[in-house]
Structure 1
Amino acid sequence: MERKPLLLHCCCGPCSTSSIERLRELGYEPVLFFGNSNIYPPQEAQKRFLNLETVAKHFDLRIIHHEYNHKAWLKEVAGHETDPERGERCSICFAYNLKEAADEAVKQGIPYFTTTLTVSPHKSAPTIFSIGDTWDEFVAIDFKKKAGYQRSIELSRLLDLYRQDYCGCEFSRREKSPVEP
């Protein structure tokens, strides 16, 4: 069976694991995309990217590392620094990352894209889908369904992946809300 190419926005290695398995079950062949200019500090972004490289090697997938531009992301969320986790700042962040993924999919000639963000029980799939609906090429998949989150934990252990304890930005880090991974 020939799989359809799809660009997969990856927030981190752990969330990517079960998402890749599900996409392959659905007939897609993902190309991994790591932008995530929201992640702070830069060393944290690099650590997450290195773990995504481990995942890419395990699944024998291509990975695209987009330029890190935290200043541009901060400009995008300006005025929302004190929003609570899962508030408006998060929706703006989702839109920022999905736009980067959509643009990269077009640049690479990949007809579809989606995101691993929905594997987390702390992220609202309907919110992400509503933002993703901006693009016809967006494929709405709730990766936490069919025990996707639990499977991501199992695969993270198997691959000895780093699992962070905050979503990514300095604002979520301050709150230290229980955001996985």
Structure 2
Amino acid sequence: MPALLSACNQAAQSAPPSAAAFHPDASIQEVMAHIVDPAADAIWASVKSETTAQGLKEYQPNTESEWLEVRHHTISLAEAANLLLVPGRPVSHTKQLEDAHVPGILTVEQVRSKIDQDPAKFAAAARELQLAAQEATAAVDGKNAARLMAAGEKIDAACERCHRTYWYPNTEQPKWPAPLKPDAKP
């Protein structure tokens, strides 16, 4: 009998769960607002430079507890990428996204349609975020502030690429003035 239980246990562990096994409560918008955003913000704030009246001030984790706190956020962010992919998770529990008033923001239905049209593309975007968060975790484990900053830049890039596809692909981008020509006078 133990061999049969062992075989059943191994089969259960190797078979992927069906969509019916998941019961998502939070929407994608809520996962973003309550897990992704706070975790990413904490990672970005953990290593930075600030110019003050007294000069350049550098910030980075220094103590074991500070590094551990940042690690909590890197792990949360990496796992949030999985949460975004749970089958049956709604985009929002309301009829519109919280910033629907901003020109160029997609509707809930448009976001759902884009995800459903190419779920592999959405999964790849979530995976890009996860890989960047995992790089941040490795940087924390190595107590390497420069590597953590570089991972933070990758997190930002992953977020922006996904948002430009699924959230605000139609927003107007800032218009920067043309660069001065080398021979131009100020």
Could you tell me the TM-score, scaled by structure 2's length? 0.27
When you count strand as a share of all residues, which structure comes out higher? Answer: 1
Higher relative contact order, structure no. (Cα contacts within 8 Å, ≥ 6 residues apart)? 1
Could you tell me the TM-score, scaled by structure 1's length? 0.27
When you count helix as a share of all residues, which structure comes out higher? Answer: 2
